[in-house]
Structure 1
Amino acid sequence: MDPHLEARLSLLLTEMEGEQGDRHEIWMRLKQELDGMRAFGMPVPEDLQRLEDELEREFGPPVVFDAESEDADPEDGTPGGGPG
């Protein structure tokens, strides 16, 4: 595994163990790292896959807005035309 990726994942796990920061934010960062691994065809370690699955059950699947949706603001892709 790439040493930089391993260091980032280690930092995320340390933050979760110490309950530093928001668990949801940590989950999103973990998901981003693991999605990056998948995009490069790298295997995701089973323990990290289980952690990702556990957090997804806790928080639900991430919400992704389709910028092409007719409910999305063409400027920023937010649903319903954005704030204000």
Structure 2
Amino acid sequence: MKTYMEKVGATYYFCRIVPEHLRSYFKTAGGKARTEFKISLKTKDRREANRLVEIKAVEISALLTEAERKYAAGIWMAA
């Protein structure tokens, strides 16, 4: 499995790029198209970060898979 982990300072983050054709499906808090998911894992411990990044990868993969399904089926709800 690809690791989507990045260390910023001492804290680990989950980072994954959103495919370009799906970006308008995912919005930032400011309402702009999301280009990546960058989520703090809220830990400085690498072992704990490895555990948490796997969980987050499954969650984000499910979101991307659902968006891909809607995109392919033409039920795109981009605003």
Give the TM-score of the pair, scaled to structure 2. Answer: 0.31
More strand per residue: 1 or 2? 2
Larger radius of gyration between Structure 1 and Structure 2: 1
Higher relative contact order (CA 8 A, sep 6+): 2
* Higher share in helix: 1
TM-score scaled by length of structure 1: 0.30
